[in-house]
Structures are given as C-alpha cells and as structure tokens.
Structure 1
Amino acid sequence: MSAAQEITRHYGGDWHGSYGTFPAPGHSKQDRGVSVKDGANGDVVFNSFNGADWREIKDECRRNGLLPERQRANDNCNGPRETGHYEYVDADGAVLYRTVRIEQVGKRKQFRAQRPDGRGGWINGMSEVQRVLYRWPEIKAAIGKSVLTDMPFPTVYLVEGERKADKLASWGLTATAVAFGCKGWRKDYAEALEGCTVIILPDNDDEGRGFADRAGKDIEAAGGTVRIINLPGLPPKGDIIDWSGTAVDLQALVDNAINTPAKLLPLLDPAAWHGQETPSREWAWNDYIPHRQATYLTGPGSAGKSLLTQQLCTAIAMGLPFMGVETRRAVAIYVTCEDDADELHRRQKAICDAMGVPLSALSGKLHLVSLAGVAANELVTFTPEGKMIVGDAYRVLLDTAKTTGAGFLALDNVAHLFAGNENIRNQVAAFVSLLNGLALEIDGSVLFLGHPNKAGQDFSGSTAWENQVRSRLFMEVPKDDLGNAPDPDARVLLRGKANYARNGERLTFRWHKWAFILEDELPQDQRAEIAETILANAENEAFLACLRARMAQGDGREVGPSSGPNYAPSQFEGMPQAKGFGRAKLKRAMDRLYQTGKIKSETVMDRKAKREKTIIVEADEASHNSHNAPHNGSTTQVHNTAQRPHNMGSAHTYIINNMGAAQGSAAPSREEEEGPDLSRVVFAADDGLDTDGNIIGWDDDGRAH
C-alpha cells in the first residue's frame, strides 16, 4: 500500500485508482475536500478544495507516522529555510507587511517581519508600517455587513498564530491573529474589535493563557465581548492545530460559552408582597441591637464596655430586660481577648448578684470565652494586594456558635480580631460584611467592641466603621463642659447611629457593686447620697476652676481662706467658673478641699502692703499625702491618712461629703490608652476603708477584687 493510499485509509476517505479523497480537518466524515496522490521520489501531493491548509495536513501526517520527517529531494543540508509566509493587508487589500516562517531541524521555528520595498521585493523590519490584524479585510467586511443589516456584530476568533487562524477560516469562521503570536499583541488592535464577540483560543501553556488574559482585558475595555475557551484534550503547548475536535465540536463549545445564562442578583419582586402581612422589626436588644446584623460598640477605655457587654449577654441568655429594655432570648457567647478566666468569674458573680440570677441557671445558656494571651486571634488577614483571607479563628468561632446554638455573639475587641488597616475603607467594609454574614449564618446578632480615636470621634480609623454598620453604640462617663465627671459612677449609652431606630437616644444607668443598674433600682437613701456626692463634686470642681483662674492672673489676684476683702468664696461668687454656686456652697467646697489636701495655705509677701499675707494654692502631690494641712479659715481640717491604689484611673473620683463620710466606692477602671491620673483621687478618712487603710473592694496591690 502506497503512502497516499495509507493516508486515505487513515482518514476514512475513498481511493479512486490514482488518488484518494478524505475529509478536511474539522469537517464532517462525509466531506471529501482534500485529495492526495503519490508523487515523484516517494513524496506525496496534497490538494485542498475547501480552504484547508495542505501544509497543516501534511504536518499532521508526519506527526501520525504516515509520512517520514520533513525532507526534500533537493535538500543537501539541515539549515534554516522558509516554510511559509503570511501577508497582512489593509481594508482595500493592499499588502502592508508579512511574516515569514523559518524552520530548521532540531530548532524552534522563527518568524521574520518584512515590508514591501516598492519594487516587488521585501525589506526586513516593520518600522513606520501601519499595524493591522491578520485577515483584516474579512473582519472589516463582517462588521460592515452587521452595520448595514442592523444585525449583531460578528463573532471573531482570536488565536496566536496565522496558521491557526487559517485553519479556523477553512471551517468558515471569521478568524484573526497578530504578528509574532502572544508577544505581538498591541492594545490598539482591541479598538478594531469594538462591538464584536471575540472568542480567544489560547495555546495550552502559560504564555498562551497570559496572552488570552491581556488581550481579553483590552478588548473588553474597548467595548468588545470576550469569551476565553480552553480547548479540551490539548497536549502541553498544544493549540487548535493539534486539537482533534471538529468545527461542529468547536461551535458547541462557543454556543455554551456565549449562551450561558447570566448570573443575576437575587431580585425581590415587591408585587409578591401584596396582601402579605408586613414583618415586624426584630431586635436582640430592642431599638439598640438589631437581629441578623452586626452592631459596633465603642467608648473610652475606662467606660466599662466589657462589663456592659458581659451583663447584656447574661440578660439575653436569660431572656430578661436589660436596663429596662426588652431583649430577645438566645444562647449567648461572650469572647474576650483581654480578660482572663478569673476576671470573667469575678465579673459574672457580681452581674448575677445584681440581676438576681444564680450562676447555675446559666448552664448551656451563656458561654464565656477567654482568649487572653492566645496568639492568632485574627478572624481575617489581608494580602499585600488587599485581598481578605478568612482565618481559622473565624471558622472556629462559627463552628462554636453552631454547635452551641448561639444566637448572640459578643466580640471584645476589634483590635485583636481585625488584622487589616482600619483607614482602608474596603478592608473595613469586607470585615463588617463578614460579621453581618456571621449574624445571618447563626440567625442571630453580633456585637463587636472598639475604641474611639484620640481626635474625639466615637470610632477609630476612617469613617468606614461608621458607614458600614447599621447600628453603632457609644458608651461614656458623662462629663461637664470642663471635662470633669461630677458622678464617676454614672454611665450613658448613646445610639450614635441607628438605621432602624431614632438616632441620638440614650440610656442612663450607673455602676454599683461591680455591675450596672438603673438609678431607679437603688434605695431612696442611696440615691439621695449619690445626689449629694454629685453636688459636692461639682462644687469642688467649681472652686478649683475659680482658684486656677485667679492664680493665672498673677500677683495681687490671689485669694485667702479668712474672712475679709480677699475671702475666696466671696471673690469666686459670680465668676463664670463658679457655675452659679453661691458663697455658702463655695465655702463648703473650700473646707472639703482643705480636708482632702487638694488645697493648702501659703504665707507670701504682699508687695503693695509690704506685709505678709495668707493665700490659698492648689497642693502638689506631696502635699496630698501629708498628714495635716491647717489653714486660717473658719474651721481646721486634717488630711486623711489613706494610701490611694496604684492603678486608679482618671475617670473615677472618690468624693468626701462635708461630714467626712465616703459616698461608696466608685467604679474601678483599667485605663487602656493613657496612664492613670491620680491627682483627682480623693479618699475618706474612715468609711469605705478596711482596717489596713485600703479601699474596700481593692487588693493590697491596688487591683480590684
């Protein structure tokens, strides 16, 4: 059997005595568009009658072992030789340039660019030559036909090489390529394909996939539609030439890619709600924490956010009102990254005592988690490019919530859980979106805690925190316009942002015996004592503010403790800093401040009168700790001898009433951002101290117990 006969049989063709016919690649089995016959010197001759490239067919026969490796009778060496050329023409058919394929046995094929020299020859290079797509007239004609017939723009196949485009064209498809394959792509080629649907068939290698990605982005930017189809079954570095599929197979792949149903957002039809009852708003904590949402709680470090959150979790776990506001009963989990198990124990005992709930009643309803000192608590991290990576800690949290059936999660605090940059909006948005998704996943609510920034805003970082959440709460110790806290145990919780309730409304409550309660829950006598303490504190602050103002005015503006023209209460009455307090209340404040060592008397020379005079000055720290500080006023007071705790925060002041009785212990704090300011801590002489002189409720080392 001759080579031509073997080829005819291999491709399922018919032999006609001296030649054979068989299907062109990609055509049906009934096609007979290629002929083959035996030539001189053992060679075979191919002819194609329907656009197939006979050279590609011959190469395929060599790969299938039907023909020997490429060799010609007149070849006397294995040097490089031209094996084909491809002309690039403008819309009128004028040749602009061509690429010449050069092959050599054992080496990769190469391409050379040439432009016409105007005399029927060619010049190497493409300088100052208009660049066009391969087979551009066909593309231009197809686009023009679409415009004239008001039909969709054509589908154009883009491949890396001219031979591949010719093969697709032999299948009756509009195909193109660019000079020098994947390395020859230029952005301006994309403009010629505006409006077209472009099918990119990349070679099966990294260069081919890179080419498809670059070209696809440019074409879409220019207004084209792109589908990248990776041909199935290609060998490594294979392409459409190597593909075993037919034109029909390719069309099926293209139809599937183009006609894939569009991915749509989950559309809601309001008309479907006609006649249905409108669902009521659901809350974890009415008007403050919405159901199936993440809420952001901020506040200064000493306000007590952690205590408030643990107490809220307890109320939700038991289905009890919190601060007089109804809650939605659910299994609750409080996760803290800062407090250890012992602190949670102490805090929970005080909370249960205040709420009248035994610890045993919380079994299976409230779960406390301490991650203090544990590494890798971040729920998410971010790549240098800004992509969010959900960490194992998130999955553990979700699994824990699902296993326990939790419907309320409190996360304390965001600094430990968010490993992104809070000044980058999309990172904050992605994190908040994750927490909202967590709330939906557990069909519950998520409360996460954070800090305000030092510029005075209620939240740190950019406004992304404020913009992303639908509910944000802010907790603080109320202060006067001078920045003082007249009642250090008072607290305010403000709805800083409430998309589902009225903005700006607030709850007021107070710290009492290591938990938070409404003031109405205190006995009447304690409320009276608190009111007296607040008034005394305000009087003290007003007296000190007046004293500082007069001292700042310099010599001659000092005031004294004794009755006379320079008597401090008389001089201070009517000053703006006095806040309307009269002489009697200012005198009462002076007596208290002498007693507690906040002020003292000094003897100085009156330069004008040329005699000594007694004036009042603020005491320094050493004077606060002295054992007595007599003054020349109407009464003589003695400083108390108690030592102040080492870690008392600036937000809590112990005030002495004018009878020397302490008004109860103020809320302990741990200042989170700045060190403690001990200058505002005042102690009672007797009540409120143990036998060692320590404040009741504090250990010897100054820690709360």
Structure 2
Amino acid sequence: MMAGSNGTAAQPIDLAALMPKVAHRLLGEPNGRLSRGSRLRFGSKGSMEIDIEGGWFADHEADVRGGVLDLIRHREHCDKAGAFRWLEAQGLKQESRPTQSQRRAPVVSAGNTFYDYCDEDGATLFRVERRGKDAVPPFLQHGPDGRGGFHTARGCMQGVRRVAYRLPELAAADPNEIVFVCEGEKDADRLTSAGLVATTNPGGAGKFTADLAAPLQGRRVIALQDNDEAGAKHVAAVLAALNGVAAETASLLLPGLPPKGDVSDWLANGGSAFDLKALAEKALHKPIDTFPIADLTAWAQLEPEPKRFAMTGVIPEGEVTLFTGPGGTNKSTFGLQLCACSAAARPMLGVDVQAGPALYVTAEDEDRENHWRLRKIASAIGTTLNGLAGKLSVVSLRGRLNNELATFDAEGRLRPAPAFALLRETIKAAAAKLIVLDNVGHLYIGNENDRGQVTAFVNLLYQLCRELGVTIVLIAHPNKAGDSYSGSTAWLNAVRSQIVLARPEDGMDHDARVLTLGKANYARPDQQLAFRWHDFALVRDEDLTPDRRAEVAAIARDNGDDAVFLRCLAERTRQRRNVSERSGRNLAPVVFAKMPEAKGLGKERLERSMDRLFRTGRIERAELWRGDDRKPVFGLREIGVKGAGNAAGNGAETRCAYAGNATAETQETHTPLLRKGTGAAFQGSAPAPDDGEIVWESQEIGDE
C-alpha cells in the first residue's frame, strides 16, 4: 500500500480501537435501552452486539462473530481486501510517509513515491522508495530506524522480515481469485485499484524468492511479464519459486505491449480488468501439449490418397530426399535442371515433374557458372531464361560465411542458425515448392558420425517441409570408403528417400549416367534412369538427333576401346613385359587382343585405339626400365603414369593435365576433347569433377 503524504511515519494499525467508529458508520446509533457500558446493542431487538473496548461483534440472529474486519465483511459483503479498502475510503486507516530528514538527499521529495510492505496484520515492516528513472539507484529500501521511523542506512534491512507486497490484502482475498504477480509496486497498486488481487516482491525483477511464495500456497497465480528481457527472467523466477506451492501457475505476456511495456501501459491503452482476467483464465487453462494424435473417426470418412511425387517415382512430395553420388557425376547439373523442369512444367529426362516455382541454392558455384549452365539447360528442355524468370529462383552462397543452417551446443542440442531463418524467408519470397540444397557439406557443420545430430538436422529440414509444404532435395557426397553417403547411416535412417547418381559400371562411356533409388519407401527400389551429360545439360539418347546419337555412340565406343587399351598396357607394365607399336611379336594390339583385360576386343579396334592415343598425346614410346644386363628396355607407356619409367631411365614421374590409366582409382571423369577427325564434333563433352576447371599437378579434384 502506498504511504501517505503527511510527513509522519506509519504506525501499526490497531483495528480493535477502530470498532466504535466502524460500528457507528455501519450500524448507526445503538439501542440505548438494551446497551450496557462498552457493550452496545443495535436493532429493535438488540440482536447485533458490539463490544467497543474488546473490539468484537456478535450477530446473534445470523450467528456470525468476529473482529473489526469481520464486521466490515459481514455488513459490506466483501472480502478482507475489500474491508481494508473500506477503511481507507472512510479515512480510518492510518497512512504515513517518511519525513524529509529521513529521505536520501538530494532527491526532491515531491518526485518520490513510498510503498509500505506490511505483515499480515497491517504493521509496516519496511518501505521501498521509488526515486525516478534518472536517480541512481532508482529504488531504495528503508528499514526500521529503531525510533518508530524508517531510514536507508547501511544494514538497515538486516534482520528485517521480507514479505510480499500487499500481504494483508493477499491473505484476506478469496482463495479462488487469481493472484497477479507483477514486476513492481506501481503495477500491483494499479491492479488492486481495479478490483484485482495483486502483489510483487521487493528488490526488483528476478528477486521473487521461495519465502515470498508461502502466502500463495494453493492459489491460482499469473506471473505478468513486462515486455523486455528482464521481464522474461522475472516470470521465470516467479514460476520457479511457485513450483510445488501454487495450485496453478502460468506466465502472461499481454498482447500489444510496447517495448519495455507493462500491465499499467496495457490498461492505459484500453485494456480492462475484465479482459485481463479473461486472458489469465485462458493462460491457466491452456491445454497440455501432446504429440498430435490422428483422428481415426475423420479418417473413416475420407478416402486415403497415394503418395504424390515431385518427380514421378523418384522424388516423393513433401519429403527430404538425399541425393548422393561420386564427384564429377553432375549432381549440381541434375539439381539445377530438375528445378528448371519444375519451373517450366517440362519433364525431367522423360519423367513427369510436378510443375511449380522452384528454388536452387548452391554453395558450390558462383552466378557466372550458374548463368552458363542454366542457359544450356533451358535450351535442352525447350525453354529460355525469360521463360524461367519469376518461376525459378537461383541463389549462390559461394564465398558467403556462416552458411550453416544450425549449430550444436556442448550437449549436442541443435540450435537453428541465422541462415535457417534466411532460407525460410527466401522460400516464402520465392513461393517455391521444390527446393534443391547444394550441398550438405556447406549447410551442416555437425558430426556426420553422430546419429543424434544428423537426425536433428534432417528433422530441421522436415520442419520446412511441414510448415511451408515444400519438397527438399539435399545433395551430399559419398564418403571415402565409397558408400553412397558420407558419415553414419543416420543420413539414410533419417530420410524416407535417397537417389544415387553414378556412371554405368562398365565405365566405357564417360558421359553416360545412371540414376538409381538408394532408398525408396514410396517407390520400387529397382527403378533406374539412364541418360548422359551433353553440352552442359543432361539428356536421354533418344532426345538426340540420329546423327548426334550416332556420333555420341561412336565417341563412347572409342573411349571404351581406349580404356581397354590402357588397361592392358597397365597390366603389361606391371608385369615388366614391354609391348611395341612396331610390327612383330610384341605389337601391342596383337598382344592385347589375347589378354582377358581386352574383353574380346579385336586387333583392328585396338590398332585404331593405339593410333588415337598416340595422336592425343596419351601414350609414347620411351625407355621403360633397365634389363638384367643393364641395357635399356624400350616400349609403350602411358604418359604420366607413376612407375612407367621415362626417357632418362630413372623412373621419375611425368604428369600432364589429362593423364590417367584404366584403373578404377585414376580413370578419367570425363570424355576428353578429341582432335579434329577423331569424332569430337558435337559441342564438347562432360567437364572434369570441378565442372570445367583443368586439374594441374597435385591440385585436388573437386566434387560436384
């Protein structure tokens, strides 16, 4: 309760001494005929008896007895807090304020407000002085000075019992009424004046302690949150202290509060006590959260729908599909082309794709590369960049820092990162329904071998699928062991769909690709889609013109023959058995045709292969090694292959940009550009794994 302004210290309230005045104001004049001494009788039959010295009353007709507050409650039909308010309204309740000399100088007294903290009987235990926003500190506590007043000397609060604000009214209130715990005395007084039950704690926000919670035992309590960080911490402290004490608790942040706003601001802006109580009841009766339970009764009224696909039989709608494959198999091209087909309402390699806006997000390629590639793709699928504008959104994150969508704390719990919020808003702005993310290595920074972290990350993406109704294709690379994913099996366990892009197993046609289903919960796992990389796009052989198809087949055949020739040469070199380009028993095509590595390839085709390899600078005649007689041994060798020797005979390694042999480890990842006259007329072949950059010396080959 707020102290008075008469400059005197408040004294404990002697309620019994107030009985004569209270009785007179409530009951009027006593019945003189029936009254005796200090015991007054009221009414024609004297059924109401008052002892003005003892401070008690007895209503013999209603069989009700009690003290001063009980008499007020009986006659005014109010609670205990209402009885105190009646005393205040009648001017019978003493109010006081510290004298000017007791205040902390040099603050002007007129700008200060004092709040009394009283015990259950209304005796003031200590005071809180509100000095204004510019004062330092803005609040001061005043403890007893031992002379009936209060002061702010050091240690003045030592040994003083700390109580909740407006404790007498709190104790007297209807136990079924909601108690509002505010962040300050001003708000508590404001709510009390509106007829509500309110309290707060001394010391400011976050200082609500367990000893202050005792009067709220079994009560229904709302912790009102001011609209700032301190307010959030305060309600957390209140609810923690009330845990196991109050019957019901809830926090309430009022709607429409300005920054740092409180309940007083809310009431000043049109809120009412009635509305506040309604919001409080709603907060207290908020349903307990559970996992969503399917309504089987509703299901019974509907026909179930089969799973729909963003790409028929390949990519299920509304799911996260893991898209993996070795480096250099054109996963990025596939992802961008898939988005273009969706935006342009075109089939993807002959397979129907759900038409709609699409978003391609890459951290691998810059806009220049995306521009080049997309123009080629648009031409291949029969559209233009103008035709894709407004329906296809392309985002490059290359060179941007902090692209991770989530981080993990010390306990491994996932925390969405700012990039996740940016991704969500980008999807909304693009109105996209198909999303391709290229690739997981840039977006996930957790431990790939931690199942919990991997699953949490995939579930974060599923959150986008559920909230925004999108389909996500997540591009990933295989691990070094050659599995179709990197890290733990959690990647496969966390998703319902996985597709794998690779080259055919025979490896003869380096531009050929095969798409298979690695995990298919919604489709047949034995399906596969064959196509090829052609002029920076992906096409089916049947989509090429007959002449171009024949040209592609011829080049694929020649590349396969060259790979066989080099495989045979590697095996003979390993055995230290030389072969020659010259006629004789060591003529390479003749020797190779008899080897199992040739797989039945005849002498004539091997001769043509040898000629191509010479002309393209991939083989040469050179000194291979020294024989037992220390004489040099000459023969054919693949240029740049370790251990094949060199012209000096010292075994030094020779390298070139496109050197390689036919082993699985060093096999080229693209069809080399053939020189004029060798069948390389059709617009170039598939890029190296980094999509176009030549690999020199020990530079690592990048993945796409």
- The bucket for the TM-score relative to the shorter chain is 0.5 to 0.7
Given the alignment of the two structures, is residue 63 of structure 1 paired with residue 105 of structure 2, yes or no?
no
Please give the alpha-carbon distance, in whole angstroms, between the structure 1 residues aligned to 2:316 and 2:603.
51
Count of residues in Structure 1 that have an aligned counterpart in Structure 2:
495
Paired amino acid for 2:573:
M
What is residue 445 of structure 1 aligned with on the other side?
471
What is residue 321 of structure 2 aligned with on the other side?
295
SS of the equivalent of 1:268 reads coil
Given the alignment of the two structures, is residue 667 of structure 1 paired with residue 663 of structure 2, yes or no?
no
Aligned 8 A contact 1:536 1:655 in 2: no
SS of the equivalent of 2:486 reads coil
Pick one of 591, 596, 617 that aligns with 1:576.
596
Report 1:269-284 matches (<5 A). 269-274=295-300, 276-284=302-310
What is residue 651 of structure 1 aligned with on the other side?
669
Paired amino acid for 2:637:
V
What is residue 619 of structure 2 aligned with on the other side?
599
Given the alignment of the two structures, is residue 497 of structure 1 paired with residue 519 of structure 2, yes or no?
yes
What is residue 460 of structure 1 aligned with on the other side?
486
SS of the equivalent of 1:357 reads coil
Pick one of 19, 29, 50 that aligns with 2:54.
19
Paired amino acid for 2:342:
I
TM-score (norm 1): 0.57
Unaligned runs of 5+ in 1: 34-55, 73-103, 111-181, 185-196, 220-224, 233-253, 630-641, 680-705
Given the alignment of the two structures, is residue 509 of structure 1 paired with residue 531 of structure 2, yes or no?
yes
Aligned 8 A contact 1:491 1:510 in 2: yes
**Identical counterparts, % of pairs:** 33
Paired amino acid for 1:19:
G
Given the alignment of the two structures, is residue 549 of structure 1 paired with residue 611 of structure 2, yes or no?
no
Aligned 8 A contact 2:406 2:416 in 1: yes
CA displacement, residues 294-353 of structure 1 (integer Å, 9 cap, x when unaligned): 222223332222222221111111211111111111012222233333322222221122
Report 1:28-67 matches (<5 A). 61-63=123-125
How far the C-alpha of 1:433 sits from its partner, in A, is: 2.2
CA displacement, residues 509-557 of structure 1 (integer Å, 9 cap, x when unaligned): 1111221111111123333333333333233222322332233234xx3
How far the C-alpha of 1:201 sits from its partner, in A, is: 10
Please give the alpha-carbon distance, in whole angstroms, between the structure 2 residues aligned to 1:259 and 1:305.
52
Paired amino acid for 2:363:
C
Unaligned runs of 5+ in 2: 1-11, 27-48, 57-65, 81-117, 128-142, 148-154, 162-208, 212-216, 225-229, 253-279, 648-655, 660-665, 699-704
Report 1:420-431 matches (<5 A). 420-431=446-457
Assess, with a 3 A threshold, how the Cα gap between structure 1 residues 301 and 6 changes in structure 2: closer, same or farther. Answer: farther
Assess, with a 3 A threshold, how the Cα gap between structure 1 residues 403 and 108 changes in structure 2: closer, same or farther. Answer: same
Report 1:268-667 matches (<5 A). 268-274=294-300, 276-480=302-506, 485-554=507-576, 557-602=577-622, 614-620=634-640, 650-654=668-672, 660-662=678-680, 664=682, 665-667=684-686
Assess, with a 3 A threshold, how the Cα gap between structure 1 residues 455 and 403 changes in structure 2: closer, same or farther. Answer: same
How far the C-alpha of 1:621 sits from its partner, in A, is: 7.7
The worse-fitting range, judged by mean Cα deviation, of 590-599 and 277-286 is 590-599
Assess, with a 3 A threshold, how the Cα gap between structure 1 residues 584 and 274 changes in structure 2: closer, same or farther. Answer: same
Assess, with a 3 A threshold, how the Cα gap between structure 1 residues 466 and 293 changes in structure 2: closer, same or farther. Answer: same
Aligned 8 A contact 1:649 1:675 in 2: no
SS of the equivalent of 1:475 reads strand
CA displacement, residues 346-396 of structure 1 (integer Å, 9 cap, x when unaligned): 222211221221332223222223333334444333444444343444334
CA displacement, residues 420-458 of structure 1 (integer Å, 9 cap, x when unaligned): 444333333333223223233333322232222222222
Paired amino acid for 1:668:
P
CA displacement, residues 57-80 of structure 1 (integer Å, 9 cap, x when unaligned): 777535399xx97999xxxxxxxx
The worse-fitting range, judged by mean Cα deviation, of 289-298 and 207-216 is 207-216
TM-score (norm 2): 0.57
Please give the alpha-carbon distance, in whole angstroms, between the structure 1 residues aligned to 2:21 and 2:452.
61
What is residue 676 of structure 1 aligned with on the other side?
695
Aligned 8 A contact 2:326 2:478 in 1: yes
Please give the alpha-carbon distance, in whole angstroms, between the structure 1 residues aligned to 2:531 and 2:592.
33
Aligned 8 A contact 2:125 2:160 in 1: no
Pick one of 292, 298, 301 that aligns with 1:266.
292
Paired amino acid for 1:324:
G
CA displacement, residues 592-629 of structure 1 (integer Å, 9 cap, x when unaligned): 3333333333468996899886533333489x9x9xx9
What is residue 185 of structure 2 aligned with on the other side?
none
Aligned 8 A contact 1:301 1:672 in 2: no
How far the C-alpha of 1:467 sits from its partner, in A, is: 1.7
Assess, with a 3 A threshold, how the Cα gap between structure 1 residues 566 and 276 changes in structure 2: closer, same or farther. Answer: same
How far the C-alpha of 1:23 sits from its partner, in A, is: 7.3
Report 1:224-243 matches (<5 A). 229=249
Paired amino acid for 2:467:
E
Please give the alpha-carbon distance, in whole angstroms, between the structure 1 residues aligned to 2:425 and 2:325.
30
Please give the alpha-carbon distance, in whole angstroms, between the structure 2 residues aligned to 1:673 and 1:534.
20
SS of the equivalent of 1:406 reads coil
Assess, with a 3 A threshold, how the Cα gap between structure 1 residues 9 and 331 changes in structure 2: closer, same or farther. Answer: farther
Assess, with a 3 A threshold, how the Cα gap between structure 1 residues 613 and 465 changes in structure 2: closer, same or farther. Answer: closer
Aligned 8 A contact 1:486 1:535 in 2: yes
Assess, with a 3 A threshold, how the Cα gap between structure 1 residues 436 and 581 changes in structure 2: closer, same or farther. Answer: same
SS of the equivalent of 2:123 reads helix
Aligned 8 A contact 1:649 1:671 in 2: no
Aligned 8 A contact 1:497 1:504 in 2: no
Please give the alpha-carbon distance, in whole angstroms, between the structure 2 residues aligned to 1:303 and 1:203.
60
Aligned 8 A contact 2:579 2:636 in 1: yes
How far the C-alpha of 1:497 sits from its partner, in A, is: 1.7
SS of the equivalent of 2:695 reads coil
Paired amino acid for 2:522:
Y
CA displacement, residues 197-228 of structure 1 (integer Å, 9 cap, x when unaligned): 99999999999978986997xx9xxxxx9977
Please give the alpha-carbon distance, in whole angstroms, between the structure 2 residues aligned to 1:673 and 1:382.
36
Aligned 8 A contact 1:603 1:613 in 2: yes
How far the C-alpha of 1:280 sits from its partner, in A, is: 3.1
SS of the equivalent of 2:374 reads helix
Assess, with a 3 A threshold, how the Cα gap between structure 1 residues 321 and 547 changes in structure 2: closer, same or farther. Answer: same
Assess, with a 3 A threshold, how the Cα gap between structure 1 residues 9 and 337 changes in structure 2: closer, same or farther. Answer: farther
Please give the alpha-carbon distance, in whole angstroms, between the structure 2 residues aligned to 1:565 and 1:109.
113
Paired amino acid for 1:107:
Q
Paired amino acid for 2:687:
P
Aligned 8 A contact 1:292 1:445 in 2: yes
Assess, with a 3 A threshold, how the Cα gap between structure 1 residues 405 and 2 changes in structure 2: closer, same or farther. Answer: closer
Please give the alpha-carbon distance, in whole angstroms, between the structure 1 residues aligned to 2:13 and 2:399.
83
CA RMSD of aligned residues (A): 5.3
CA displacement, residues 625-670 of structure 1 (integer Å, 9 cap, x when unaligned): x9xx9xxxxxxxxxxxx9979xx99411327599644364211235
What is residue 119 of structure 1 aligned with on the other side?
none
SS of the equivalent of 1:601 reads strand
SS of the equivalent of 1:63 reads strand
SS of the equivalent of 1:330 reads coil
The worse-fitting range, judged by mean Cα deviation, of 577-586 and 654-663 is 654-663
Please give the alpha-carbon distance, in whole angstroms, between the structure 1 residues aligned to 2:687 and 2:119.
89
Pick one of 158, 161, 166 that aligns with 1:107.
158
